[in-house]
Copies of this chain bind each other. A is one copy, B any other.
Amino acid sequence: VKEFDLINTYFKPLAKGFPGSLNLTDDAAVLDIPAGFQLIITKDAISQGVHFIGNEAPSLIAKKLLRTNLSDLAAKGTTPYCYFLAGMLPKNTDEAWIKSFTSGLAEDQKLFGIHLAGGDTTSTLGSLSLSITALGLVPKNSALTRSRAKIGDDIYVSGTLGDSALGLLSAQGKCPHDAFLINRYQLPEPRLSLGQTLRGIANSCMDISDGLVQDLEHICKASNVGAVIEAHTLPLSAAAQKIGTLLALEAALSGGDDYELLFTVAPENAKNIAALAKKFALPIARIGKIANGKKVRVIDESGKEIDIEKKGFLHF
């Protein structure tokens, strides 16, 4: 199948209804940014054997790729606008693969309100590599950032932590098979509505992609503060706990790919957070506090510091 036929059959429908895409007849898109808005742009790449196993349905690979980018937009409090796709496909990629891949994109485009605006499809001699550049809009100067966490802020996370890292182990046969955990690894939920609502409420926000401790360190560094995580408050799913409490805690602290929001809020806004959890029917857990210093410390229920490196809690 020729590149232009593939574009016509499978990619043009993804750009339909988005005039800036020029119906994918051009090498570039022409976009109008509404007055009073800023443009948020993120770019994520994934590669077979590194970010996905390779035996997943192509539609699932497509969804994970799009959702990891949408999660970056969620973390800035953004409304999705459009995205660009680069597919570097092995020579033996067949039409059925493209069909399933684009059907996954089509489903998620509807779900999250975003359109394909352009991109590039090329062949590669290596394994499958994909990259998306996603664009979102926020009212001027209202984007959530990592750099404004304040000492005394409560630290919150959405959903449950560690599921994705355990899901990968489960998919690899390294721990018991669990469909819930595998689904959490393959199909993250970008917390777009929550992110948008956190504008003006949260002092800082990011999504957890590298693991809670490492990502919280990014907020601390950008905001010039420290943090304390109360280990016993970390939200663990029933499925994660069934795998083993210690492994679940480890995954929650340092497992990647959760794509939950990590944010900090002044204590006087605690009531707002409870209301949001109810509104979005989404668990939101308070897991600690922004503190003096520069370090992320983890304490147990009695307030005693856990040496997370020594305990191997950063192993994921």
Contacts and interface: CB of A to CB of B under 8 A. Distances in A.
Given A26-B222, A41-B133, 11 more contacts: A26-B76, A26-B206, A27-B75, A27-B206, A31-B39, A41-B118, A43-B118, A44-B120, A47-B126, A86-B131, A126-B129
Interface of A: 22, 25-33, 35, 38-51, 72-73, 75-76, 78, 84-88, 117-120, 122-129, 131, 133, 135, 138, 140, 143, 145-147, 206-207, 209, 218, 221-222
Q: How many copies does the complex hold?
A: 2
A119 B138 CA distance: 20
Contacts of A126: 47-48, 124-129
A32 B35 CA distance: 10
A72 to B, nearest CB: 4
Which secondary structure dominates where chain A touches chain B? strand
Contacts of A75: 27-28
8 contacts: A28-B75, A30-B138, A31-B39, A33-B39, A45-B87, A50-B125, A86-B86, A88-B131
Given A127-B124, A129-B88, A131-B131, A40 B49 contact: no
A125 B86 contact: no
Nearest to A3: B210
